[in-house]
Structure 1
């Protein structure tokens, strides 16, 4: 049986090369009624961006290929994604995301509080509604 995406189900793209973090967040979002999609690198995420058309993107800072800030800049310069909410998760580089409110609606320090992340996702998606 093929899975059909409900129009009410919001897609969240999680970009993190640490599989455990991506899995934990993915499971939590699924439990909350979101459709999580994961990518282990920013380059892979860019490849799946058009296909998945995420409603929100969460990215790590330190990844192979490009940083989370570089990834966010690429996403925001892609037609159709200029207004897609993005959040950054990072350890030591969180200050770089905080300095870029033009890119990120929220920045989380690792280790992050999963319920707090889910709350921020809901807030960002609620404020995105037309």
Structure 2
């Protein structure tokens, strides 16, 4: 079981994603914006952070930059899930471990999560 932090400002999407991940056996913490997700990340030291791009208070890119700038968090994989800004993630591999474009299937999400967790040594 991995601890996963989700940053997603659309409640229904965050709830759906949390359900998918919890059914797969993971512990999930969610925040409606990057600033909240950064606080959760600092508190829980998750195995993975999944973030949307466009959010209030702090974008997914700003969240990923803050994680990489913190020595205690820098090795946590960050998955960008975005409908229109996927290219930003692909153009910034130093911040994002992977990019998953919306819309995605449940199988695609689980596969991406499993791959990132296996590379980081978490499960």
Shorter-chain TM-score range? over 0.9
- 1:69 and 2:57 matched: no
- 1:34 and 2:26 matched: yes
Q: CA deviation at 1:110?
A: 1.4
TM-score of the pair, normalised by structure 1: 0.88
5+ long unaligned stretches in structure 1: 1-8
Q: Deviations over 1:28-77 (max 9, x none)?
A: 11111111110001111122222211100000000001211111000111
Q: CA deviation at 1:79?
A: 2.1
TM-score of the pair, normalised by structure 2: 0.93
Alignment of 1:89-104 (within 5 A): 89-104=81-96
RMSD: 1.3
5+ long unaligned stretches in structure 2: none
Aligned to 2:43: 51
Match of 1:60 among 52, 60, 84: 52
Matched pairs, number? 122
CA distance in 2, matches of 1:46, 1:105: 17
CA distance in 2, matches of 1:51, 1:99: 29
Q: Deviations over 1:59-103 (max 9, x none)?
A: 000000121111100011112111100000111111101111111
In the TM superposition, structure 1's runs of 4+ consecutive aligned residues that sit over 4 Å from their partners are none
